[in-house]
A and B are shown apart, each in its own frame.
Chain A
Amino acid sequence: MSKPKVALYWCSSCGGCEESVVDLAQDILPVTSAVDIIFWPVAMDFKYSDIEVLQDGEIAATLINGAIRMDEQEHIAKLLRKKSQLIIAHGSCAHLGGVVGLANFYKREDVLGEAFKEVPTVKNPKGILPQVKTEEAGRELELPALHDTVKTLDQVVQVDYYIPGCPPPPELIKNAFAAILENKLPPKGTVLAEKKALCDSCSRKESKPDKIKLSKFKRLYEVEWDPEKCFLEEGIICLGPSTRDGCGERCIKANFPCRGCFGPTDEVLDQGAKSLSYLASLIDSDDEEEVKKIIDSIPDMAGLFYRYSLASSILRGNINRGTK
């Protein structure tokens, strides 16, 4: 009997998710011996035509990381969907849009302009921007087209499971492979991590007081490091309450507050809105001016609360960017 076929693909991502597979270390061995990796552009040389020739549903499972922001990515995602029994969104960008999803605060033209004209390290006196088609020495060259909106994987194709995280902890990937191989998968649509929020397993929860009232939001450098103390109690924004558990508190243990890469729990539609909602409730003032001052002590609010989930949020981005 032939081994089940597995494919791995990347879209708009930083490569960290690929790294997370490699981070399985010796645990990758039982996986590679149990399955046939038939497609993994970052690690091995395959061609798209290798996928095109497969039967529909011939691949047992495909892990796709990265958000969808180019037509090539959308095309391959759809192709892989057709050829795979299971599609697994791998990592925050595929799951929620991720950091690249923050581009949805801007128009495509602004993003391109910034990257190819405005940044100080770029010299582009003619102001040339990437084009889908270019004539060069009598030959037509082609580049994938950049979409105006960054999308999550499930906004493009149907996704069966999600492995959250930026990047996902190897443990979750290992468990996912095990579940696929042993056919012990939960109902479709499940995010393969915990159901509760991070506070449930946080090593600092013991110290958390019942009521927290804040008159200033602080940044890390403003407080002394105390590995026992809840960040929120110290006035440091931590998104642990609105973020799904399962990361093994990697950031917390490194004395860094949660930034929400595991996304919201099942019951929450919009992680950023929820985060704003609970943090606003901690503000210790009834005075409008003072409240404004306290809120102003949060730098880059949108980038903080929607760092990983903007593309999957209710608004999806800046609704005015089309008219900017």
Chain B
Amino acid sequence: MSAKKPSKRIGVFICHCGGNISSVIDVEKLAQAIGKLPGVALSTTYQYVCSAPGQDLIREKVKEHNLDAYIVAACSHTLHETTFRTLGKETGLNPYQVEIANIREQDSWVHDDPQKATSKAVRIIRSVIEKLRLNEDLLPIEVPVTKKVLIVGAGIAGIQAALDIANAGYKVTLLEKRASIGGHMAQISKTFPTLDCSQCIMTPRMVEVSHHKNIELLTYSEVEDVAGYVGNFKVKIKKNPIYIDPEKCTLCDKCVEVCPVEVDSEHDRGIKKRKAIYIPFPQAVPATYTLDVHSCLGLLPIACGECVKVCEPQAIDYDMEPQFIEDTFGAIIVSTGYELYPVLNLEEYGADQIPDVVDGMQFERLLYLDSSTGCGIKRPSDGKVPGEVVFVQCAGSRDPELHNAYCSRICCMYTSKQAMLYKSAFPEGKSYIFYIDIRSGGKGYEEFVQRAREEHDVTYLRGKVSKIFQEDGKVVVWGADTLTGEKVEIKADLVVLATTMVPSPGTKDLANKLKLNVDEHGFTQEAHPKLRPVESLSAGVFMAGCAQSPRDIPDTVSSASGAASKVMAMISGDVLEREPIIARVDEDICSGCKMCISVCPYDAREYNSDKNIVEVNSAKCEACGSCVVTCPSGATQQLNFADTQIKEMVRAILSDKESSE
């Protein structure tokens, strides 16, 4: 049963787009053809409809022709739909009586036969007319907003976003999975291209966060469950036990002295060991011991208990339980950062079996320990200062067959920096960098790479390393120099692999809880790569830093500030206005079969047992359309994208009537 078509007076404004459209499409002929269609009260063209005079033209014509609705045939919806809907509202129309017909990206830009392109434009506009005839007046949906923000991941991205938002006067809960905040930036020796000490610029931020009156810091914690929706996310947080009471602890370090367990230090990336009870690093925030439940013996009955015996203030409590915190947040920022692609996966480079093959972060720790203690850069196998160091870029990156297809983006720069720092610390050493291309697009980056080459005598070899193996106490690197076409063999003391940045392991799980899309590599997916880079398609969920893609510190901080400003704009009002183009259920048709509940990724479909129907929660609905296509009885329809409208649009596109011009 098709709904009865209300007779609307429709205006069509066809844009030349300064030749972008009119150089291929015969816009005057198009306007004529469209003008003959039933219900079209006006069909006209203009050079730039989006310009101020173009918009004035629409204002004038809506009045003059008493239009009920209009179409702008121009560029894509993404570009100017908002412009023309806002204009429609100004002219007294409901904004949803304004539609865009995309005859640029979908027509003039992709075709060159004027006749066919013009005929296609007729079909496109004709189909939009059919849709517009059946468009309903809609009002934005208003939802109340909680002025508090959850940030997941307290590396530099999370810290920056937290400070930006907290300084603007909003409450922030900053959550970190590890025992200390700081993330990878706290592990790095120096930053390129300025060679600032990473710790020195990071630590003040960490302290500021911990003392900020608007920031609640939850370390050693994880997101357990997320319910609710934009403006009102109900989040359950699990605070894992650290088995220490920080109030009682005097930081005397006796527990660490007696602890018999030694494991690889995460902060030093296995270059150094730590005890089962430990402070991750001297500048850690919070400055508290954490008892690592996975390595501690004391939690096993009667196995150890040494630390408890020496703890005078009795701050250690083996029976501490996880705490669960429930709170409501208006928005969530995901800043869960990255991990490095495991060397174990790189069989051609020794699969983590050669002690003197390290990854970039391990080398950062070697550099840091040298600069902070003056101990010299010691290679892991025998503690010797390496005389020849080979850096291998793109280890696991730009390799779609075996590893990761994408570019890890920071490696070109940090290997330059590492080679430079190595040469500064040990000028008689030799350093080689194998590269595919040097990507030094940031501010001051190219000059930095040149300095490494010229002032620090770093040898750059263009080519891929094919194999790395051990021989006579050396690490042998086989590669090819593609500039000379020769095979290269270097007998090195240490090899540094610039392994790919991959999403941190918890990202996928968190994304699932937040109904956040991830891309093919597991990085969080932005709503639009150009125009909405820090928003996700899940309203109220934002992203910052390397959770989204590999990036360096400046880009991470920019994205964090970007996300923070988006969040602040969102929570600054008392209510949120949302697009009303959501699903609607017809109560007279819905049989309560509940199929929609199974498919809704946003938990927006709720069963009403009194009416035996499944309702749409308009605050939660993200308009994805899943329930609409699933609804077995057709009771659920997408507002202004009803099946009847789409059917008419398809019919209008396929029909041969009047399209032969």
Chain B, Cβ-Cβ closest to A211: B598
Among the stretches B40-48, B296-304, B479-487, B630-638, the one at the interface with A is B630-638
- The 7 A-B residue pairs with the shortest CB-CB distance in the complex, in nearest-first order: A267-B634, A242-B632, A241-B632, A241-B593, A197-B591, A200-B591, A199-B593
Q: List 5 A-B contacts (CB under 8 A).
A: A197-B632, A210-B597, A241-B633, A269-B647, A278-B632
Query: In terms of DSSP, what is the predominant structure of the interface of chain A?
Result: loop
Q: For residue B572, give the distance in angstroms from its CB to the closest CB of chain A.
A: 36
Interface assignment of A78: CB less than 8 Å from any CB of chain B: no
Assembly CA distance A242 to B598 (angstroms): 16
Chain A, Cβ-Cβ closest to B587: A196
Asked if B635 and A199 sit within 8 Å, CB to CB, the answer is: no
Asked if A199 and B629 sit within 8 Å, CB to CB, the answer is: no
Q: Which residues of B contact A200 (CB under 8 A)?
A: 591-592, 612
Given contacts A199-B591, A278-B630, A281-B598, 10 further A-B contacts (CB under 8 A): A197-B589, A197-B591, A197-B633, A198-B591, A241-B591, A274-B631, A274-B632, A278-B595, A278-B631, A282-B595
Q: For residue A285, give the distance in angstroms from its CB to the closest CB of chain B.
A: 13
* A190-225 contact mask (Cβ, 8 Å, vs B): 1 or 0: 000001111110000100111111000000000000
Interface assignment of A235: CB less than 8 Å from any CB of chain B: no
Chain B, Cβ-Cβ closest to A281: B599
Asked if B598 and A213 sit within 8 Å, CB to CB, the answer is: yes
Interface residues on chain B, number (Cβ under 8 Å): 26
Q: Which residues of A contact B632 (CB under 8 A)?
A: 197, 241-242, 268, 274-275, 277-278
Assembly CA distance A115 to B598 (angstroms): 44
* A125-156 contact mask (Cβ, 8 Å, vs B): 1 or 0: 00000000000000000000000000000000
Interface residues on A, range: 20 to 34
Interface assignment of A91: CB less than 8 Å from any CB of chain B: no
Q: Which residues of B contact A198 (CB under 8 A)?
A: 591
Interface assignment of A309: CB less than 8 Å from any CB of chain B: no
Q: For residue A313, give the distance in angstroms from its CB to the closest CB of chain B.
A: 15
Assembly CA distance A189 to B2 (angstroms): 12
Assembly CA distance A189 to B612 (angstroms): 27
Contact status of A281 and B626, CB under 8 A, knowing A199-B593, A200-B591, A241-B591: yes
Query: Could you tell me which residues of chain A, from 224 to 256, have a CB within 8 Å of some CB in chain B?
Result: 240-242, 245
Chain B, Cβ-Cβ closest to A210: B597
Interface assignment of A265: CB less than 8 Å from any CB of chain B: yes
Query: In terms of DSSP, what is the predominant structure of the interface of chain B?
Result: loop
Assembly CA distance A241 to B599 (angstroms): 14
Q: For residue A283, give the distance in angstroms from its CB to the closest CB of chain B.
A: 10
Query: Could you tell me which residues of chain A, from 58 to 100, have a CB within 8 Å of some CB in chain B?
Result: none
Q: Which residues of A contact B633 (CB under 8 A)?
A: 196-197, 241-242, 264-265, 267-268
Q: Which residues of A contact B607 (CB under 8 A)?
A: 210
Query: Could you tell me which residues of chain A, from 158 to 200, have a CB within 8 Å of some CB in chain B?
Result: 189, 195-200
A-B contact count (CB 8 A): 87
Q: For residue A195, give the distance in angstroms from its CB to the closest CB of chain B.
A: 6
Chain A, Cβ-Cβ closest to B629: A277
Assembly CA distance A208 to B593 (angstroms): 8
Interface assignment of B531: CB less than 8 Å from any CB of chain A: no
Q: For residue A202, give the distance in angstroms from its CB to the closest CB of chain B.
A: 8
Q: For residue A249, give the distance in angstroms from its CB to the closest CB of chain B.
A: 12
Interface assignment of B552: CB less than 8 Å from any CB of chain A: no
Interface assignment of B590: CB less than 8 Å from any CB of chain A: yes
Query: Could you tell me which residues of chain B, from 411 to 445, have a CB within 8 Å of some CB in chain A?
Result: none
Point out which of A205, A266, A267, A275 has the most chain B C-beta atoms below 10 A from its C-beta: A267
* B580-617 contact mask (Cβ, 8 Å, vs A): 1 or 0: 00000010111111110111000000010000100000
Q: Which residues of B contact A264 (CB under 8 A)?
A: 633-634
Assembly CA distance A212 to B596 (angstroms): 10
Contact status of A281 and B612, CB under 8 A, knowing A195-B588, A199-B592, A200-B592: no
Interface assignment of B569: CB less than 8 Å from any CB of chain A: no
Chain A, Cβ-Cβ closest to B612: A200
Interface assignment of B195: CB less than 8 Å from any CB of chain A: no
Query: Could you tell me which residues of chain B, from 616 to 652, have a CB within 8 Å of some CB in chain A?
Result: 626, 629-635, 637, 643, 647
Q: For residue B377, give the distance in angstroms from its CB to the closest CB of chain A.
A: 46
Chain B, Cβ-Cβ closest to A201: B591
Q: Which residues of A contact B591 (CB under 8 A)?
A: 196-200, 241, 245
Assembly CA distance A242 to B633 (angstroms): 5
Asked if A211 and B634 sit within 8 Å, CB to CB, the answer is: no
Q: Which residues of B contact A282 (CB under 8 A)?
A: 595, 598
Q: For residue A260, give the distance in angstroms from its CB to the closest CB of chain B.
A: 10
Asked if B647 and A281 sit within 8 Å, CB to CB, the answer is: no
Q: Which residues of A contact B252 (CB under 8 A)?
A: none
Q: Which residues of A contact B631 (CB under 8 A)?
A: 274, 278
Assembly CA distance A197 to B607 (angstroms): 16
Contact status of A281 and B595, CB under 8 A, knowing A242-B633, A267-B634: yes
Assembly CA distance A197 to B637 (angstroms): 16
Q: Which residues of A contact B626 (CB under 8 A)?
A: 281
Assembly CA distance A264 to B635 (angstroms): 12
Q: For residue B32, give the distance in angstroms from its CB to the closest CB of chain A.
A: 34
Asked if B588 and A211 sit within 8 Å, CB to CB, the answer is: no
Q: Which residues of B contact A196 (CB under 8 A)?
A: 588-591, 633, 635
Q: For residue B603, give the distance in angstroms from its CB to the closest CB of chain A.
A: 10
Q: For residue A255, give the distance in angstroms from its CB to the closest CB of chain B.
A: 19
Chain A, Cβ-Cβ closest to B609: A206
Assembly CA distance A12 to B626 (angstroms): 39
Asked if B595 and A265 sit within 8 Å, CB to CB, the answer is: no
Assembly CA distance A189 to B599 (angstroms): 33
> Which of A240, A267, A277 contacts B643 (CB under 8 A)?
A267
Q: Which residues of B contact A281 (CB under 8 A)?
A: 595, 598-599, 626, 630
Point out which of B588, B593, B637 has the most chain A C-beta atoms below 10 A from its C-beta: B593
Assembly CA distance A268 to B589 (angstroms): 11
Chain B, Cβ-Cβ closest to A200: B591
Asked if B595 and A195 sit within 8 Å, CB to CB, the answer is: no
Asked if B598 and A266 sit within 8 Å, CB to CB, the answer is: no
Asked if A266 and B634 sit within 8 Å, CB to CB, the answer is: yes
Asked if B593 and A211 sit within 8 Å, CB to CB, the answer is: no
Chain A, Cβ-Cβ closest to B643: A267
Chain B, Cβ-Cβ closest to A208: B594
Interface assignment of B1: CB less than 8 Å from any CB of chain A: yes
* A253-292 contact mask (Cβ, 8 Å, vs B): 1 or 0: 0000000000011111100001101100110000000000
Q: Which residues of A contact B595 (CB under 8 A)?
A: 241, 278, 281-282
Asked if B612 and A205 sit within 8 Å, CB to CB, the answer is: yes
Q: For residue A308, give the distance in angstroms from its CB to the closest CB of chain B.
A: 15
Assembly CA distance A265 to B589 (angstroms): 8
Asked if B1 and A266 sit within 8 Å, CB to CB, the answer is: yes
Chain B, Cβ-Cβ closest to A238: B593
Point out which of B594, B607, B629, B637 has the most chain A C-beta atoms below 10 A from its C-beta: B594
Chain A, Cβ-Cβ closest to B627: A281
Q: Which residues of A contact B1 (CB under 8 A)?
A: 189, 266-267
